[in-house]
Amino acid sequence: MNRDHLALSDDILMKIEKPARYIGHEYNSVVKDLSEVDVRFAMCFPDVYEIGMSHLGIQILYDMFNKMDGVWCERVYSPWMDLDEIMRKERIPLFALESQDPIKDFDFLGITIQYEMCYTNILQVLDLSQIPLLSKDRDDDDPIVIGGGPCTYNPEPIADFFDLFYIGEGETRYAELLALYRKHRKEGFDRENFLREAAKIPGMYVPSLYDVTYHEDGTIAAFSPRFDDVPEKVLKEVVMDLSSTYYPMKPVVPYMKVTQDRVVLEIQRGCIRGCRFCQAGQLYRPVRERNVDVLKEYAMTMLKNTGHEEVSLSSLSSSDYSKLPELIDYLIEECDKRHINISLPSLRIDAFSLDVMSKVQDIKKSSLTFAPEAGSQRLRNVINKGLTEEVILRGAHLAFEGGWTRVKLYFMLGQPTETEDDIRGIAELCNKIAAEFFETVPKEKRVNGRVQIVASTSFFVPKPFTPFQWAPQCTKDQFVEKAYFTRKCISEQLNQKSIKYNWHEADASVMEGVLARGDRRLAEVILKVYQKGCFYDAWSEYYKHRVWLETIEECGLTPEFYTSRERSLDEILPWDYIDAGVTKEFLKREWQKAQNEMISENCKVKCQGCGAARFGGGICFEERVAGDE
Amino acid sequence: MSDNMRLRVRFEKTGAIRYIGHLDVMRFFQKCLRRAEIDVAFTGGFSPHMIMTFAQPLSVGLESHGEYMDIEVHSVTDSQDMLERMNAASVPEIKIVSVKRLPENAGNAMASVAAAKYLVSFREGRTPALFKEDPARVNEAISEFLSKETIPYVKEGKKGTREVDLRPGIFEFFVKEDQSLEMLLEASSGDNVKPAQVLDALLALHDDSLSENALQISRLDTYTRKVSVDGILGELLSMDEVGEIF
Ligand code: SF4
């Protein structure tokens, strides 16, 4: 391969913002000899380079594919607006970073789908690649377009754009899929045949092999495979032994500053907590831990191989990792010698974490983070967030004693059963934390004289495979009203001067809700919206709410059908044919308990019988502990 | 400060990597030196930094064969070993050419830059009329240009425009046999002169100007000035010649 060859001319590279996004050549990026490659896989994150490069999942799969003989996996991201315009005008096909070759010449285009608002960027990537947008229009020479990631647990709104979805964790079935592909290539390739066979591999969902019919009211009447040999339900794939699977020892090191510019150690998958609003908490069950000695070795090897100056732990709830103190002690000792920073997101605030944080951060500059998600204990019981006011205040007290003066609090507005009292609880909790500061820290010791409390609210969007999947979502007006009410309540507090309040825009939350629980009929909307020039919807400066609304109407649909409507428990949901491990009975039980304000203990304390035990491992088979909150 | 040694690292930046900006090159070396396990010294405080300075930022799009970075280290092996380790931890387009130890009195890379030498050619189809004429005529135009006492030029900066005199900053400027241009230009931070500015000024005298992205530029080397015992600045010296192999 000629390393000097670039897909973009010098004139273009000199004209656009941040050309480093498009030239590849990063340290640890993999370049293979084409004469030894028979399957070319382009791995895409449909957002800008800095975001896409920060995603651990792609790095794991990149490493896995490139370890396979004859397979070359390369990366591709969404070109930024400036380059997008040039590529369209000059008809330059989208290319992979490593070889700079057009994506349309690849065997596979794999797209990871992490959030709903990137759906139009998927079309941008296909379009710039000069691949037909609709699966049915592709022929044998086009790449197989395969989707993965959390949004594929309800892939229906984007089903028409994909040939295949891989449901679940990518480490398990790709080898099988590629073997099948090679076999079909050898025996004379026919796209339809290949997809029909692929559908028999566990975890694979081929949307074109299923028919959906609707009732007059728009709900689903039936969802069925078109052939007998196509499975009725697709069960998600999971890796049960996380300590002996793929993990990238040599992750690609970008030149540019990217969002996640550090070594990332995924300490566990899944979460024991079972918060009822949280999709990730359900999708990644059961909890599986990585062996602590393996993690120590990974950390040191990856630091050496990348030269990164920071290491970060990744998991949904790091505090629940059983060997956390041992791992952190080790990292602190080793990293201190090497001037390496440690970043510890998602830690519960208690004496242990405060002690650790005081060792790894500058207390004066850092802030404490709490995520109560709801303002009152009543509503926290509804959402099963096991964080009490007492625990928060105790944590804050310890932290103020330790010298912290900044506190961040995250809440959600619009969760099921929420009342004005619950919202007022947000303001009151903030006020109590401020009061705790003034009580804990004597006047003469107050740095800058005060405490800074920042409360942020986001709007709740119900997601598939959560107990709230049947719940109505608030309308935009309700959201906005709630935000104003929150602000008003905060302004009435005694310590209001110490409290700052931020809230998110409501428009995008409405559309996220439409797409999250949408059905196949939305493909037409997404396609039309894209054709009207919308993409980068996840970037508020580019999101055009009006265009979305007007297009939904043009297609004879309404946002309310998908968002603010309460679904009945026996309605066929668009994602019912996917089996995410948790059973519908369990979700219904949880939905009932939520309405009765009853909590469910976490997996460590008591198994709730969610269904994930069928995978035969993880937390479901570990001893229960008594008394953990 | 302590027994730390200062090393001067000369490197090339070529090929696709010419589109990587200066800040990213600095970030690259911070990681590269860690991978190479060079015993670099750090500043103190809560977020310690490697002690390193770069001679002169290279604009995006330019190649260079004479870039310099000074680093402070606690310990060394030998020049060759350190060079090999750094290259093993680098990419082919950023190649370390030499690692030398600086004498104690040497100024740091950034502060002591005095000049830079460039090789300049025109991209296809973008050669200005003047440079299409026969070499004798071009040379004549250049010597006419250089014989001027002052060459006024309006620099566009972030804080608006400012008129400067380019003439004192042009040390050498001639056409080579293969029609490319070689220029030795002032490169100290305040008075830095760029090849495009020189050509713009020259072409202006012929009622012409450079077309967009017309130049292909490669920096050949960066220079400092010899300092005599009594502190007087003398002739130009490649920055590479200040240090010694060890
Ligand atoms: S089966 Fe029980 S222990 Fe396993 S994930 Fe579900 S609730 Fe937790």
AA letter at A509: S
pLDDT in tens, chain B (246 residues): 467 999 999 999 999 999 999 999 999 999 999 999 999 999 987 778 999 999 999 999 999 999 999 999 999 999 999 999 999 999 999 999 999 999 988 888 888 899 999 999 999 999 999 999 888 899 999 999 999 999 999 988 777 888 999 999 999 999 998 889 999 999 987 889 999 999 999 999 999 999 999 999 999 999 998 877 676 778 999 999 999 999
Q: Confidence class of residue A350 from pLDDT cuts 50, 70 and 90?
A: confident
Q: How far is the CA of A287 from the centre of ligand 1 (A)?
A: 8
pLDDT in tens, A47-64: 999 999 999 999 999 999
φ/ψ (deg, to 5) at A160: -70, -20
- Please work out, in degrees rounded to the nearest 5, the angle formed at the alpha carbon of residue A207 by the alpha carbons of A579 and A222: 70
Q: Tell me whether residues B19 and A23 touch, CB distance under 8 A.
A: yes
Give the number of other CB atoms < 10 A from CB of residue B158.
4
Distance (Å, whole) CA A378 – CA A383: 9
Q: How far is A357 from chain B (nearest CA, A)?
A: 13
Ligand 1 neighbour A283 (Cβ under 6 A) = no
Give nearest CA residue, ligand 1 atom 3: A620
Q: How far is B165 from chain A (nearest CA, A)?
A: 28
**Average pLDDT value for residue range A446-461:** 88
Contact present, A96 and A145 (Cβ < 8 Å): no
CA dist B3 to A154, A263, B40, B51, Å?
63, 32, 12, 14
- Over the range A82-93, which residues count as b (16 or more CB within 10 Å of their CB) and which as e? ebbebbeeeebe
CA B51 to chain centre: 20
SS3 state of residue A229: coil
**pLDDT tops 70 at residue A338:** yes
Residue among A25, A308, A362 whose CB faces B93 most closely: A25
pLDDT in tens, A457-506: 999 999 999 999 999 999 999 999 999 999 999 999 999 999 999 998 89
Q: Does domain A10-214 have CATH number 3.10.450.50?
A: no
Ligand 1 neighbour A607 (Cβ under 6 A) = yes
Label the pairing between strands B63-73 and B52-54: antiparallel
Cβ contacts from A onto B, under 8 A = 79
Q: What is the mean pLDDT of chain A?
A: 94
Q: Tell me whether residues B31 and A307 touch, CB distance under 8 A.
A: yes
Please name the residue of chain A whose CA is at the shortest distance from the CA of residue B31: A307
Higher pLDDT, A433 or A505: A433
Q: Confidence class of residue A629 from pLDDT cuts 50, 70 and 90?
A: very low
Atom of ligand 1 nearest to the CA of A287: 5
User: Please, what sign has the CA dihedral across residues A98, A186, A61, A55?
Assistant: positive
pLDDT in tens, A584-604: 999 999 999 999 999 999 999
Residue among B32, B89, B91 whose CB faces A25 most closely: B91
Contact present, A558 and A577 (Cβ < 8 Å): no
Residue among B24, B46, B93 whose CB faces A256 most closely: B24
Contact present, B171 and B161 (Cβ < 8 Å): no
pLDDT in tens, A10-19: 999 999 999 9
Q: Where are the domains of chain A?
A: 10-214
Q: Confidence class of residue A448 from pLDDT cuts 50, 70 and 90?
A: low
Q: How far is B41 from chain A (nearest CA, A)?
A: 10
Q: Tell me whether residues B16 and A3 touch, CB distance under 8 A.
A: yes
Residues β-bridged to residue A499: A453
- What global pTM score does this model have? 0.94
**pLDDT tops 70 at residue A627:** no
Contact present, B99 and A52 (Cβ < 8 Å): no
Predicted pLDDT of residue A346 = 75
Distance (Å, whole) CA B132 – CA B172: 21
Q: How far is A62 from chain B (nearest CA, A)?
A: 19
Q: Confidence class of residue A240 from pLDDT cuts 50, 70 and 90?
A: very high
Domains in chain B, ordered, with CATH? 5-112 (3.30.70.580), 127-210 (no CATH)
Give nearest CA residue, ligand 1 atom 6: A610
